[in-house]
């Protein structure tokens, strides 16, 4: 049943909405009310949704109330932490959005090297809070990404080779499940739920707090090497050699993009977190010498500076992307990438490669819900445009995936799926899918939490 808050023809519903408002201690914003337009905004201009109810909860009680309201009126229920999912899964039309973007406290216990974060906290906020005590753990590479979605999907980032994925550093979750109960999921409490939350995304409830293990880290050798597209073949070959020889402490992120004032280029960001920064310099020398770098900012720096210097999200652009995996960066894959880069329909389009490796790859496939544990590149091709029809943009992104299909592995990283097709979600979880579906049936049998990379419940 659709509920229209402004309608005068559904007095029962209006009374229900009044009750809903009275029971929310935080903020409830209805369509048309002050703050609504700002609250429904999304960084991707392709996402234009009109939720019926936006709840900014004060506590877990508000979250349980929002879940109960959505269930009672059979409304779609979306959950927003950082709001970074590219397809806008954190918003919905007509239904309820639980907006956790201001639910973003981070507290530290430096003696025990533990951090507790609410899911709306951004990477940037978390990294700087931990850095104040000389501590860090694996989080994503971009400052603005929310810890909620990032962690629940797995979490790849600069420290994954050394410390594993973000989920490999989670000690516990606090979560409100579909029945409105606030539960702790950890190795000793609800261990099956704890297993599922480490990679299974937003399928099992609304996470209200995450406890992370931290590690000492002060300085890193990091920065950016920019190689003009004309030299990108040599650059990608040097990247392959670097990644294959990389110790756990060295993680790369490569993008085929068009930096302003430079033109089409291969941009490789690096972070070396070993103790001996001179050893890092030696490892990086061949990459830095491949072609004539148009820019090279690699230098010792405080780890938190990697996030302080992060690029702001562009405003007003439309985005749509595809994702796949490459077990190796073969010569064939390099040639396909060069063709894909040369045919980008706008200068904003991006092809990105992030390699899962080291400690993240030494965790058994069945140890957590996250199944893609072999060393491999996660590739995204993202079309980005200002105006005009979407079709040529989508055709380019789809074409990149086709070009790379002969070199692709099976399954994609759920956090890079937009609105994942059912087969993509199945492939992402592979051998862990049946166990996830059974846990889903236990904690969310009605599939209330379905605006995500959805795992239908199955006993």
Stretch that binds ligand FAD, among 77-85, 363-371, 387-395, 424-432 (CB under 6 A): 77-85
Tell me, residue by residue from 399 to 438, as one string, x for binding to ligand FAD by CB under 6 A and - for no binding: ----------------x-----------------------
Residue 283, interface with ligand FAD (CB under 6 A)?
A: no
Residue 234 Cβ vs ligand FAD, minimum distance, rounded to whole Å: 26
Q: Which is nearer to ligand FAD, 233 or 373 (CB)?
A: 373
Out of 46, 65, 85, 361, point to the residue binding ligand FAD (CB under 6 A).
Answer: 85
Residue 423 Cβ vs ligand FAD, minimum distance, rounded to whole Å: 19
**Sign of the alpha-carbon dihedral angle for 394, 395, 400, 404:** positive
Residue 379, interface with ligand FAD (CB under 6 A)?
A: no
Residue 322, interface with ligand FAD (CB under 6 A)?
A: no
Residue 175 Cβ vs ligand FAD, minimum distance, rounded to whole Å: 7
Stretch that binds ligand FAD, among 81-89, 264-272, 342-350, 362-370 (CB under 6 A): 81-89
Q: Which is nearer to ligand FAD, 81 or 290 (CB)?
A: 81
Residue 244 Cβ vs ligand FAD, minimum distance, rounded to whole Å: 21
Give the number of residues in contact with ligand FAD, rule: CB under 6 A: 32
Out of 46, 290, 323, 452, point to the residue binding ligand FAD (CB under 6 A).
Answer: 452
Residue 56, interface with ligand FAD (CB under 6 A)?
A: no
Stretch that binds ligand FAD, among 129-137, 198-206, 367-375, 425-433 (CB under 6 A): 198-206
Cα–Cα distance measured from residue 443 to residue 437, given in angstroms and rounded to the nearest whole number = 10
Residue 90 Cβ vs ligand FAD, minimum distance, rounded to whole Å: 4
Quick one: three-class SS letters along the chain? Answer: CCCCCCCCCCHHHHHHHHHHHHHCCCEEEECCCCCHHHHCCCCCCCCCCCCCEEEECCCHHHHHHHHHHHHHCCCCEEEECCCCCCCCCCCCCCCEEEECCCCCCEEEECCCCEEEECCCCEHHHHHHHHHCCCEECCCCCCCCCEHHHHHHHCCCCCCHHHHCCCHHHEEEEEEECCCCCEEEEECCCCHHHHHHHCCCHHHHCEEEEEEEECEECCEEEEEEEEEEHHHHHHHHHHHHHHHHHCCCCEEEEEEEECCCCCCCEEEEEEEECCCCHHHHHHHHHHHHHCCCCCEECCEEEECCHHHHCCCCCCCCCEEEEEEEEECCCCHHHHHHHHHHHHCCCCCCCEEEEEEECHHHHCCCHHHCCCCCCCCEEEEEEEEEECCCCCHHHHHHHHHHHHHHHHHCCCCCCHHHCCCCCHHHHHHHHHHHHHHHHHHHHHHCCCCCCCCCCCCCCCC
Out of 26, 76, 95, 155, point to the residue binding ligand FAD (CB under 6 A).
Answer: 155
Residue 107 Cβ vs ligand FAD, minimum distance, rounded to whole Å: 17
Residue 57, interface with ligand FAD (CB under 6 A)?
A: no
Residue 353 and residue 334 in contact, taking contact as beta carbons nearer than 8 Å? no
Cα–Cα distance measured from residue 294 to residue 266, given in angstroms and rounded to the nearest whole number = 10
Stretch that binds ligand FAD, among 201-209, 219-227, 387-395, 402-410 (CB under 6 A): 201-209
Cα–Cα distance measured from residue 17 to residue 244, given in angstroms and rounded to the nearest whole number = 58
Q: Which is nearer to ligand FAD, 81 or 432 (CB)?
A: 81
Residue 293, interface with ligand FAD (CB under 6 A)?
A: no
Out of 143, 207, 270, 400, point to the residue binding ligand FAD (CB under 6 A).
Answer: 207
Residue 202, interface with ligand FAD (CB under 6 A)?
A: yes
Name the one residue in this structure whose structure tokens are 């400690």: 359
Q: Which is nearer to ligand FAD, 92 or 265 (CB)?
A: 92
- CA-angle at 298, arms to 333 and 283, nearest 5°: 60
Residue 119, interface with ligand FAD (CB under 6 A)?
A: yes
Radius of gyration of the chain from Cα atoms? Answer: 22
Which residues 135-154 are close enough to bind ligand FAD by CB under 6 A? 140-142, 145-146, 148-150, 152-153
Out of 3, 178, 351, 451, point to the residue binding ligand FAD (CB under 6 A).
Answer: 451
Residue 371, interface with ligand FAD (CB under 6 A)?
A: no
Cα–Cα distance measured from residue 195 to residue 188, given in angstroms and rounded to the nearest whole number = 11
Residue 86, interface with ligand FAD (CB under 6 A)?
A: yes
Q: Which is nearer to ligand FAD, 412 or 415 (CB)?
A: 415
Residue 163, interface with ligand FAD (CB under 6 A)?
A: no
Residues forming the site for ligand FAD (CB under 6 A):
79-86, 89-90, 100, 119, 140-142, 145-146, 148-150, 152-153, 155-157, 201-202, 206-207, 415, 451-452
């Amino acid at each position: 049943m659709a509920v229209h808050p402004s309608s005068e023809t559904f007095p029962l519903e209006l009374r229900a909405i009044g009750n809903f408002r009275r029971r929310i201690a935080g903020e409830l914003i209805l369509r048309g009310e002050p703050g609504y337009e700002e609250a429904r905004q999304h960084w991707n201009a392709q996402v234009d949704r009109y939720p019926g109810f936006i709840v900014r909860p004060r506590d877990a009680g508000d979250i349980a109330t929002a879940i109960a309201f959505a269930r009672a009126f059979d409304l779609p229920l979306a959950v927003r932490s950082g709001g970074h999912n590219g397809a806008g899964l954190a918003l919905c039309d007509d239904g309820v959005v639980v907006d956790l973007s201001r639910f973003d406290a981070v507290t530290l216990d430096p003696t025990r090297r533990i951090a507790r974060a609410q899911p709306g906290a951004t990477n940037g906020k978390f990294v700087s809070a931990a850095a104040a005590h000389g501590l860090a753990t694996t989080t994503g590479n971009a400052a603005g990404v929310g810890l909620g979605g990032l962690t629940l999907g797995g979490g790849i980032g600069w420290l994954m080779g050394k410390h594993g994925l973000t989920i490999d550093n989670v000690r516990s979750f606090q979560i409100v499940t579909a029945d409105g109960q606030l539960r702790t999921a950890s190795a000793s409490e609800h261990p099956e739920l704890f297993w599922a939350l480490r990679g299974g995304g937003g399928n099992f409830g609304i996470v209200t707090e995450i406890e992370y293990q931290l590690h000492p880290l002060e300085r890193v050798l990091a920065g950016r090497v920019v190689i003009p597209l004309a030299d990108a073949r040599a650059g990608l070959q040097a990247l392959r050699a670097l990644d294959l020889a990389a110790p756990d402490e060295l993680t790369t992120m490569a993008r085929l993009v068009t930096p302003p004032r430079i033109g089409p280029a291969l941009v490789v960001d690096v972070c070396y977190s070993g103790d001996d920064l001179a050893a890092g310099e030696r490892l990086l020398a061949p990459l830095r010498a491949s072609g004539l770098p148009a820019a090279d900012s690699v230098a010792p720096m405080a780890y938190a500076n990697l996030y302080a210097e992060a690029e702001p999200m562009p405003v007003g652009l439309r985005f749509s992307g595809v994702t796949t995996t490459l077990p190796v960066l073969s010569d064939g894959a390099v040639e396909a990438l060069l063709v894909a880069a040369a045919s980008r329909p706008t200068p904003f389009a991006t092809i990105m490669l992030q390699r899962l490796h080291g400690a993240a790859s030494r965790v058994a496939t069945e140890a957590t819900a996250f199944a893609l544990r072999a060393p491999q590149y996660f590739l995204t091709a993202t079309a980005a445009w200002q105006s005009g029809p979407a079709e040529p943009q989508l055709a380019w992104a789809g074409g990149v995936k086709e070009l790379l299909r002969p070199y692709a592995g099976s399954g994609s990283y759920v956090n890079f799926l937009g609105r994942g097709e059912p087969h993509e979600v199945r492939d992402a979880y592979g051998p862990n899918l049946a166990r996830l579906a059974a846990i889903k049936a236990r904690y969310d049998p009605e599939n209330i939490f379905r605006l995500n990379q959805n795992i239908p419940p199955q006993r």
